[in-house]
Structure 1
């Protein structure tokens, strides 16, 4: 039997219609508003359930709660069940303990260790309950984040120099961001990698699969220079980061630089960049200048952005039968990359960040 239309006051109708149009209201509140409004139009519980995606029995519950309690009936009531066993003092003690150094010889807290420590302090609690409380507080004492602090006394001077080359380069100059990507591994899988498969009939789709076991064929070093103002990459693959390889790469950059232009190269603090042979090369080429990043600040060198692209798109999942195969595919990737290369957008200007 179809129920009579639900009686809704004009004031409530305005509020409920506003909820259905809101972009920030909770989904459950929008759903309940629609239930009341549609019930007021004479819709049956089954029709409303199909419209709002709820079982008709649950529609009847909210319909009845509005009929009996008005707008207050659309608000969730407290859930029945056992009251919390652990008070604020217990939670504070857990947080205090979890943020302290764990007892020797352990180097990090576990849920079991935290539970034992609180039990010793007179709080009877299990490891699983410790985990629930930590989850609720988004407290993860078993995790660590790492960072690298530069103690270079000239950090800001060097950072400003490098950023100046990015945002305001010298007139009649070419700026290259130069670095080496070491430890590129040539390895191939023992068994062929299986490609991804789409769903077919009752069979679900399947992601690409590859066997864990692989064969090692050696490693290689990539010397790369990124022209920071047109995005082009110059590179070649060799076997080490020796100073003579670095000089040979600089020589290649010199040969590609038009006459009359200065060559400014941003490099890191690798020992091979500061040898006597490198200094002699700079003395013989007075139009070549090296700009060193601060220590532990490789993120200032834009070529690292290209190395990240190379790693994600080729090296991480690539298979190489030999070092020569690795070198060939790396250079092929760079040649293809240069067809669409654009400069990276650099926003950091080398000045210390100001507190808000």
Structure 2
């Protein structure tokens, strides 16, 4: 049973926690053993269960994740957490921790502890983790963005966010970027894990067949993506892709959100913009690619199609990407942008304050 490093870490924490029922921790150890490459018979013997129980735990985890390890209680429904508590967990997760906490982002344990100490709400970290999974919340990623040193940071944030929240009437907003050096890896069977005193590692043999560069343009209003793989990444290939991306919208005003790569501002690109005055560039602040919605889509295609893929050649990789884009567009939906300019700037100020306090404390 193949598990990601994130899944392994989550299962280890669950298996060793005192905050979950013993039967849930046992099932977590069973699935963890399978992910470590142990034999079914050995797992059953160590856990003190029948081999069929091992199979059942693996199946439930494969189908439902950690929720599949929980047992449905007999004699009545499980105690429900009030809806307002769940709403409070979600709301806090989407905010930065208080400046006085010294935290850059929430973890399940720090959020549960904050709720108990500051607001008198008692929930386990396990409950917080379940809410995060169900709502697809990842504060350890969204709360650790790089602090931009761009002197026009506030103006650029307001410009881009304004396009997301209130696009000009009748205009088209495209989010454009390139995912460079996407590798075509041909993976073989995983090597058996080597266990040391304090660490456990799993490695994979693979053959590298080359790379490609994925250019993509997301229509912010519809969620549709134009994706194209090219062997080279330079001003000429970017301009060729840009022309292709704006062609279907030639009769409309087109606003393009992109970052500050030199390939986006070559003399040829500038000359083309001067001739096509209906196309307008909007640059994200330096070091703030998280503000570009296409980065969200790049993360999705990486997780769902590329990262675990096996590609015997670059052509196979390119076909996989093309098929994924076509499948995505069959049921495309736009991302919902909710953060306002004021909220983003306030969050940045909180992070800056936390960093300054940390530096000052370390200097003492």
Normalised by the length of structure 2, the TM-score is 0.51
Report the equivalent of 2:123: none
Q: Do residues 241 (structure 1) and 233 (structure 2) align?
A: yes
Q: Distance in 2 between matches of 1:289 and 1:280?
A: 13
1:166 to 147, 164, 167: 164
Q: Deviation of residue 213 (structure 1)?
A: 0.7
- Kindly indicate which of the two structures has a greater share of residues assigned to helix: 2
Structure 2 gap segments, 5+ residues each:
1-18, 22-142, 192-201, 351-364
Q: Deviation of residue 340 (structure 1)?
A: 1.6
Asked whether the equivalents of residues 189 and 204 of structure 2 are also in contact (C-alpha less than 8 Å), the reply is no
1:184 to 176, 182, 185: 182
1:234 match: secondary structure: strand
Q: Deviation of residue 211 (structure 1)?
A: 7.1
Q: Do residues 221 (structure 1) and 194 (structure 2) align?
A: no
Q: Distance in 2 between matches of 1:290 and 1:267?
A: 7
Q: Distance in 2 between matches of 1:221 and 1:267?
A: 16
Normalised by the length of structure 1, the TM-score is 0.52
Matches for 1:317-336 after TM superposition, within 5 Å:
317-336=308-327
Runs (4 or more) in structure 1 with deviation over 3 Å come to: 190-193
Matches for 1:17-166 after TM superposition, within 5 Å:
148-166=146-164
Q: Distance in 2 between matches of 1:345 and 1:222?
A: 24
Asked whether the equivalents of residues 268 and 295 of structure 1 are also in contact (C-alpha less than 8 Å), the reply is yes
Q: Do residues 353 (structure 1) and 346 (structure 2) align?
A: yes
Compute the RMSD of aligned alpha carbons: 2.7
- Whichever of the two has the greater Rg, that structure is 1
The size of the alignment, in residue pairs, is: 199
Deviations 1:272-326 (A, max 9, x none): 0111111011012111111000001111000000001001001110011111111
Q: Distance in 2 between matches of 1:271 and 1:154?
A: 18
Asked whether the equivalents of residues 214 and 230 of structure 2 are also in contact (C-alpha less than 8 Å), the reply is yes
1:213 match: secondary structure: strand
Q: Do residues 305 (structure 1) and 303 (structure 2) align?
A: no
Q: Distance in 1 between matches of 2:20 and 2:332?
A: 45
Asked whether the equivalents of residues 190 and 204 of structure 2 are also in contact (C-alpha less than 8 Å), the reply is no
Deviations 1:16-54 (A, max 9, x none): xxxxxxxxxx999xxxxxxxxxxxxxxxxxxxxxxxxxx
